[in-house]
Amino acid sequence: MNADDERQDLPLKNVVEAVLFVAPDPLPLKKLAALTGASPDELRTVIGELQGEYAGRGVELAYVGGGYRFYSRPEYAPWAKQVLPIERGPRLSRAAVETLAIVAYRQPLTRVAVEEVRGVNSDAVLKTLLDKKLIITDGREDAPGRPFRYRTTKKFLQHFGLAALNDLPSLEEPETGG
């Protein structure tokens, strides 16, 4: 019996559960389809069933950064940390977080646009965010000097536990006292 024969005899839900359990990064539906040979609709059904089965348990199956992955729930972190050191994402300075927020909410935008909002030179901070792969260049602006435009990456979404940019908190206008 070859590996393909063995795969055909196993329940799809169990195969998906096993693959997602060991995946180091979120797996997109397209990758799961290629691995399992199942259609995206079949996979959505199976993933929905798994999410229901894991509701209220110590782990959850979440859609983050363009793919699915099992995560331990935050309330169980004190125990999980004792067994497996939790890998922290890249440490970010206040300037980096500020710059990243500007890029996330206004993307794509140029260095000059970032600096107009921040009021200070942002070359070093943008380079740091590029090095940490939290932002990437997204073409060039049609302006003098053809400056790069910046946008966030899937790694940004994963770092902040977001499925998509739509999951960013809304920016509320500050109330004016008057």
At 138, which CATH number? 1.10.10.10
Domain boundary among 83, 109, 128: 83
Tokens of 141: 């602006």
Higher pLDDT, 10 or 86: 10
Q: What is the pLDDT of residues 66-84, one digit of tens each?
A: 899 998 888 988 888 888 7
Domain boundary among 83, 115, 131: 83
Whose CA is closest to 152, among 106, 94, 113, 114? 106
| Residue 175 falls inside a structural domain | no
Both 122 and 146 in one domain: the answer is yes
Confidence of residue 19 (pLDDT cuts 50, 70, 90): very high
> How far is 143 from 120, CA to CA, in rounded Å?
21
C-alpha 22 chain-centroid distance: 17
C-alpha 127 chain-centroid distance: 20
Across the chain, mean pLDDT equals 87
**Residue numbers of the domain that contains 71:** 3-83
| Residue 109 falls inside a structural domain | yes
Rg of the Cα atoms in the chain: 21
Both 79 and 8 in one domain: the answer is yes
Q: What is the pLDDT of residues 49-70, one digit of tens each?
A: 999 999 999 999 999 988 999 9
The whole-model pTM stands at 0.64
Confidence of residue 4 (pLDDT cuts 50, 70, 90): low
> How far is 73 from 153, CA to CA, in rounded Å?
24
SS3 17: helix
